[in-house]
Structure 1
Amino acid sequence: MENYVFAQYNIELLTTEKAQQRGTRQLEAAAEMIQRLPTPDVLLVNEMDDNFVQGWEKVHNATAFLENYLREPQAATLKGVDFEAWIAPRCNTGIPSGMDIGKDGIGVEPGTDAYARDCFSYAPYAGRYAMTLYSRFPIDIASVRTFQRFLWADLPNHRIPTNPDRDLYLTADECERFRLPAKTVVDVPIKLPDGKIHAVIAHPSPPLADDMDTLNAPRCHDEIRFLGDYVAGADYPYDDDGLEGGLSTDERFVILGDLNTEPGDTVTDDAVTRYLLDNSQVIATTPSSPGGSEHGAPYATSNLSRGPTRADYVLPSTDFTIHSSGIGWPAKDENHRAVAEQASDHFLVWVAVSE
């Protein structure tokens, strides 16, 4: 019986400048943590800039990170990690909406806050905060489904803020054009030796933003609800090619992503519990770490300014059996504790499964 390792890693601000050259200490540290943990068969990396959208036509950051860091052993006792395939889906970050989402006049100059606020998802330029999915097995590219352009208003019982007394809201016209995913939602079929698996990937909006009453909290809630509905086979999702419907109930999947919220979070109305952890199609995995345990938060996947938080998830369908899992936050007396904290403000999360 085959065992597979699925992993999720938000590598903070993995920019083109960092990826395209060797010797970036942060990325060496990130690659080292990937090499120290069970070798992932499928790995989602968040916050990797999509430099092809930015006009860089030579080597994609996904290939550069693989060649410059992942394949290179980062310590004498470690081995490089390789992947057969990758996919870097287009995201909504930094894509101009053509609307005054920030309610301060339409920003037209990339790199400015006014520009970022009026994009479909906040970013100073297109391709920022994007993501790449790596796989040791072939990706069925022809069957990939993307939901980048799914309209927020087309989510049944959505929570779009429309009250003009808020800091930010959408007008009736904006509701007809504004997209739901902050980055995108993608269903990536992967050809494992014992059959197909759907890697369903996402990176919803951070619910809190600048202490303002923004779109983020209801949007994060609704993005997570979309994920739960999709893997449960809902009828309403339509992809960017117009194909309708969610996954069939007999299809295996793993949800991977920095979902930007933790169980019990009141800001998002506990969306991750209601729509994913309590979803009858999902195994509610609970990876833990020594480092998080030392902070009284064994399931924390990030150590942000507000403290340890569970934000990152690897959630297989109930077709699988969980063998082991973990979070790459070492104990303070381990030599690579500093490596993990230098790599990112998040830690790698992995889950090993078999059918």
Structure 2
Amino acid sequence: MRIATWNPGLTRDGPGLLLRDIGRDDPQVLAAAQVIAHAAPDAILLTGLDWDLEGRALTAFADLLEAAGHPMPHRHAGPPNTGLPTGRDMDGDGRLGRARDAQGYGAFRGQGGMAVLSRLPIAGVTDHTETLWRDMPGHRMPDSPHADIARLSTTAHWDVALTTPAGPLHLLAFSATPPAFEPRNIPRNHDEAAFWLDHLPDAPFAIIGNLNLDPADGDGDPAALTALLAVTQDPRPRGAWQPPQTGPNADHRGDPALDTAEYARAPGNLRLDYVLPAQGLRVLDAGVIWPAPGDPLAESVALASHRRLVWVDLDLK
């Protein structure tokens, strides 16, 4: 079974614009569909995909995948915290109704949400998205006048149980805030990852998503990632090619083959996206879709997103 995660860049500046672009065969949207069809996952978590109440954009994108020869008929996209208004000045800048005043950063409800697409049936979803940050045991939430409403999840936390021939496989899916831009984001990024330590199922699982944290480079506190690695295994997916390690990458300490995000300026390329199977699951293979220039897929990968798709093959027998 192949499971994958990717931020395909399917977010726009206003509600309804993603659906519009899918309907008019926007080249970036088509490139994203081509990359996913090439990877051919059995299940994929898409982060950075705008949510709408009726799921019309997700349905339209799934239709593109089917047309590309890779149908994924089962899907889940619950309402995210991104862009969810609070009515409060959450970032303390004296202004209301701005992107950083939402429960999760977003200029409109659902901007940059997430979704699971699967070839296998979804047996059920446990949704932790409404969990208050202050209610997480051992949280690092700074003192705040908004602790009564502030949620932990920037986007969402889902336990998605897939039905496989070998029994259920739980995808512990989330997309965390970057540990940058404002002080509260560093402890929030840590706690979004640490949340799963208290919510591991008594069944095969994989922690999957955009952790927005590189263990060796960039900002943030890797303590929660280190703790997750103690209860999972890291297949260390590698890309086929890496850009020259110059400019903002010149002083990086991490293995560039593990990077999943490309930034032309500081902080440079980083490993931000992960599939971490539980200990005891048999990993057959893993990779990052980062083809070399000249590869037939390279243009689509570059056009779709500055992120790279990560996949892991598991033997669930």
Residue 43 of structure 2 aligns with which residue? 42
1:207 aligns to what SS in structure 2?
Answer: coil
Q: Select the residue among 170, 183, 196 that pairs with 1:227.
A: 196
Residue 251 of structure 2 aligns with which residue? none
Q: Select the residue among 135, 154, 161 that pairs with 1:182.
A: 154
| 293 and 253 in structure 1: CA distance in 2 versus 1, 3 angstrom threshold | farther
Task: Determine the C-alpha separation between the residues in 1 that align with 2:167 and 2:285.
Answer: 21
Residues 292 and 308 in structure 1, CA contact (< 8 A), matched pair in contact too: no
> What's the TM-score, normalizing by structure 1?
0.80
The yes-or-no answer on 1:264 pairing with 2:216 is yes
The one-letter amino acid of 2:190's match is: H
Residue 331 of structure 1 aligns with which residue? 292
Q: Select the residue among 56, 63, 70 that pairs with 2:65.
A: 70
Residues 161 and 170 in structure 2, CA contact (< 8 A), matched pair in contact too: yes
2:154 aligns to what SS in structure 1?
Answer: coil
Residue 141 of structure 2 aligns with which residue? 160
The yes-or-no answer on 1:341 pairing with 2:293 is no
Q: What is the correspondence of 1:1-355 to structure 2 with a 5 Å cutoff?
A: 4-15=1-12, 16-19=16-19, 20-37=22-39, 39-52=40-53, 57=54, 60-67=56-63, 69-73=64-68, 80-105=69-94, 107-108=96-97, 115-141=98-124, 144-162=125-143, 170-171=144-145, 174-209=146-181, 213-231=182-200, 247-248=201-202, 251-265=203-217, 267-277=219-229, 279-280=230-231, 282-292=232-242, 295=245, 297-305=256-264, 306=266, 307-355=268-316
The one-letter amino acid of 2:194's match is: R
Q: Cα RMSD over matched residues?
A: 1.8
CA apart distance, 1:117: 2.0
Task: Determine the C-alpha separation between the residues in 2 that align with 1:48 and 1:66.
Answer: 12
| 312 and 272 in structure 1: CA distance in 2 versus 1, 3 angstrom threshold | farther
CA apart distance, 1:101: 0.9
1:302 aligns to what SS in structure 2?
Answer: coil
Task: Determine the C-alpha separation between the residues in 1 that align with 2:95 and 2:262.
Answer: 35
Residues 224 and 275 in structure 1, CA contact (< 8 A), matched pair in contact too: no
Moved more, 127-136 or 314-323: 314-323
The one-letter amino acid of 2:192's match is: E
CA apart distance, 1:119: 1.1
Residue 252 of structure 2 aligns with which residue? none
1:71 aligns to what SS in structure 2?
Answer: helix
| 228 and 264 in structure 1: CA distance in 2 versus 1, 3 angstrom threshold | farther
Residues 224 and 271 in structure 1, CA contact (< 8 A), matched pair in contact too: no
Task: Determine the C-alpha separation between the residues in 1 that align with 2:283 and 2:34.
Answer: 25
Task: Determine the C-alpha separation between the residues in 2 that align with 1:17 and 1:289.
Answer: 32
2:313 aligns to what SS in structure 1?
Answer: strand
| 259 and 129 in structure 1: CA distance in 2 versus 1, 3 angstrom threshold | same
Task: Determine the C-alpha separation between the residues in 1 that align with 2:218 and 2:226.
Answer: 12
CA apart distance, 1:320: 1.2
CA apart distance, 1:189: 0.9
> What's the TM-score, normalizing by structure 2?
0.89
CA apart distance, 1:43: 0.7
Residues 191 and 224 in structure 2, CA contact (< 8 A), matched pair in contact too: no
Residues 7 and 44 in structure 1, CA contact (< 8 A), matched pair in contact too: yes
The one-letter amino acid of 1:158's match is: H
The one-letter amino acid of 2:213's match is: T
Task: Determine the C-alpha separation between the residues in 1 that align with 2:43 and 2:25.
Answer: 25
Percent identity between matched residues is 31
CA apart distance, 1:178: 1.0
Larger radius of gyration: 1
